[in-house]
Amino acid sequence: MYFEGVYDDADLLDYGYSRDKKSECKQVNLRLNITDEDGIPLAFKVINGSTADRSTPSVPPCNGRRDVIIQYHQQNIGYLGLLPACNEYEQVLMSIPLSQLKKHPLKYRPKKQKEDEPAIYYGVLSKVIVSGKNAVTVEPQVLILYSTNKAKLDADKRTTLLGRYLESLEKIARQINLRKYKKKAYTQSQIDKAGSKYVSVRHLVDIQFNGTDGQLTLSYNVNAEELELAKERDERYLLATNRPLSEEEMLSHFKRQDKIEKHIHAIKGPIRIRPMFLHNQERLESLVFICMVALLVYSILEMVSKRANIVMTGENILKQFQTPVVVYTIFKDGSIWKQVAPLTVFQSKFIQSLDFPDPVIYLSRIKLE
């Protein structure tokens, strides 16, 4: 959560990686415990805004993750998350040929996919060794996952970038031994510049650059073997856990994080608080507390709605209840008649399904005991 202002006396407010694209503003980060199925926030703590994401095993890069995973095993703290992309895990990731991996479809389906449509995810259980300091090792269970949809996106992206890289090399080849391109050092710098722009695909192209100034030769070709390896590697990743979960359980639990992320996004959406002045850290933390209470109510609203077979986001539910109004009629004698405007069909059905009180009760003052 970012804040505008100096806040010299607020120790928790600091500069850090900004997910709000507000790198010029100070911020605070949150540690948050949320239930798995319904995304109900149970506990939170405001932490320094410069704190890096090193306290979970599922965020790349590798450095700092191994010891966290080992601590989870030693303290018997259950976890489930993606292993970072490290060379030490690559052998396990590629241990099963794609042809074999595709023989193990998983039942998980995104909400928009029909049950009778082909599987999107394929997976096989395996083990991986995670080594930490002092030669301490643990062996979490991993699910080698493959996604056909993401693999297509990877392939399309690679084709585009590879085409652009080859165009850059062709442009250099057409100018070889002309003007600046007579110089070997300059031509090499342009080849290197093209490669640095397309780092993800430059290993797929073999380049032969020879000769002396004014007598240079340049040729290149796509390495078919490297290209096949890249296709084999497309959209594989390792999902790790220290709990005895099946392939289906690992994937379905992991996919629920989307619900949690959407709840967090709600803080910056429908729960977003209008700009206000805060003068010290205590008020800053109080504002965060108000946001978290709002998120709790928002999450519970979604949960009870789902249990009543009303599957809607909290945001859409709130939008449905933006219209209710109360009509105040004031008569000449000073008396007032208050009446709730007729509810919509959805509003009436929603209130009845969740056994909420009739909105009329809000027209009378209620004395709290």
Are 138 and 23 within one domain? no
Q: Are residues 123 and 135 in the same domain?
A: yes
In a domain, 240, yes or no: yes
In whole angstroms, what separates CA 111 from the centre of its chain? Answer: 18
Tokens of 300: 């519970």
Same domain assignment for residues 80 and 172: no
- Same structural domain, 131 and 241: yes
Nearest by Cα to 68 from 236, 238, 240, 237: 240
* 328 falls within a domain: yes
Among 240, 243, 248, 247, smallest CA distance to 82 is for: 240
Q: Are residues 145 and 73 in the same domain?
A: yes
pLDDT of residue 369: 58
User: Does any domain span residue 311?
Assistant: no
Question: Is 221 contained in some domain?
Answer: yes
Query: How far apart are the C-alpha atoms of 99 and 122, rounded to whole Å?
Result: 11
The answer to whether residue 188 is domain-embedded is yes
List the one residue out of 348, 131, 122 whose CA is nearest residue 236: 122
The tally of domains found in the chain comes to: 4
Same domain membership, residue 32 and residue 162: no
Whether residue 220 is found in the same domain as residue 103: no
* Among candidate residues 218, 245, 272, the one where a domain is terminated: 245
Question: Which range marks the domain in which residue 284 is found?
Answer: 2-51+259-301
- The answer on 177 and 218 residing in a single domain is yes
Quick one: pLDDT at residue 45?
92
What predicted TM-score, i.e. pTM, was given to this entire model? 0.65
Q: How far is the C-alpha of 296 from the C-alpha of 187, rounded, in Å?
A: 61
Query: Is residue 187 located within the same domain as residue 122?
Result: no
Mean pLDDT by 10 residues, the chain (369 residues): 81 84 85 84 90 55 74 91 84 91 91 82 94 86 92 90 96 95 96 94 96 96 93 88 95 82 76 78 89 91 93 89 86 88 91 90 69
Does any domain span residue 251?
no
Q: What is the pLDDT of residue 59?
A: 47
Do 238 and 268 fall into the same domain? no
Which of 185, 182, 178 minimizes the C-alpha distance to 213? 182
Residue 222 forms part of a structural domain = yes
Task: Give the whole-angstrom CA distance, residue 258 versus residue 251.
Answer: 12
Q: Is the dihedral of CA 72, 121, 225, 216 positive or negative?
A: negative
Same domain? 204 vs 76: no
Which pLDDT belongs to residue 297? 92
CA dist 307 to 194, 212, 303, 312, 338, Å?
56, 76, 6, 11, 34
Same domain, yes or no: 34 and 79: no
Tell me which residue of 239, 245, 183 sits closest to 209, measured CA to CA.
183
Whether the CB-CB separation of 184 and 172 falls below 8 Å is answered with no
Give the DSSP H or E segment for 287.
Answer: helix 281-307
